[in-house]
Amino acid sequence: MVSRAILAFFILCFPAWSAEVAGVKIDDKTRVGNTELVLAGAGLRKRLFFQVYVIGLYVQDRKADIVSQPGPKRIAIHMLRDVGADQFTEALADGMRANHSEAEMKALEPRVKELAAIMAELQEAKKGMAIALDWNGSETKMLVQEKPVGRGIAGEDFYRALLRIWLGENPVQDDLKKALLGA
């Protein structure tokens, strides 16, 4: 009986980790709404010689095509340095532009501005901050430290555009794309 109690204590107090990147522990599972998601992969975003953030990608089926896979998903970002809201948003927009035509970007632009407004409320993505970009099946929601921030952003095409920043034909970093795909 005592050994079962000790085992239960350790299971509850020390969750299983499936990855550690740049000293950041990444959970092997998470939930978006009522859907349990599994870690597809995780990696480190570098800019020149700076470590910017650790990112994990959660999906329902890590074997299916991640970008077109239906259902909830999560992009989990753990900041390793302070980045201003404008710089953070512009980096995301640049990643989108690299993977979309001018016409596609024109259609996405109002939602990029919505994301920029949410980031402007935060003023900056601070070192240690956990930012999640969730697709819940109907909208993209931003969570900071697990708390919702701003309004939801409509359109699955917008979430897929976000995913293409890291997983598109022209990802922001090739080795990061491979890491997020579990390579």
The architecture of the domain spanning 16-180 is 3-Layer(bba) Sandwich (3.50)
Spacing of C-alpha 93 from chain mean position: 15
The helix/strand/coil state of 108 is: helix
Q: Domain extents for the chain?
A: 16-180
**pLDDT in the model for residue 74:** 98
Distance CA(133)–CA(137), nearest Å, equals 12
DSSP 145: T
In this prediction the pTM is: 0.87
**Mean pLDDT per 10-residue run, the chain (183 residues)?**
46 52 94 96 93 96 90 97 95 96 97 96 95 96 96 96 97 96 82
Q: Which residues of 140-169 are buried (b: 16+ CB within 10 A; e: fewer)?
A: bbbbbeeeeebeebebeebbbbbbbbbbbe
Neighbouring C-alpha atoms within 13 Å toward the C-beta of 155: 15
Tokens of 103: 């016409």
**pLDDT in the model for residue 156:** 96
Question: How many CB atoms are closer than 10 A to CB 124?
Answer: 16
**pLDDT in the model for residue 84:** 95
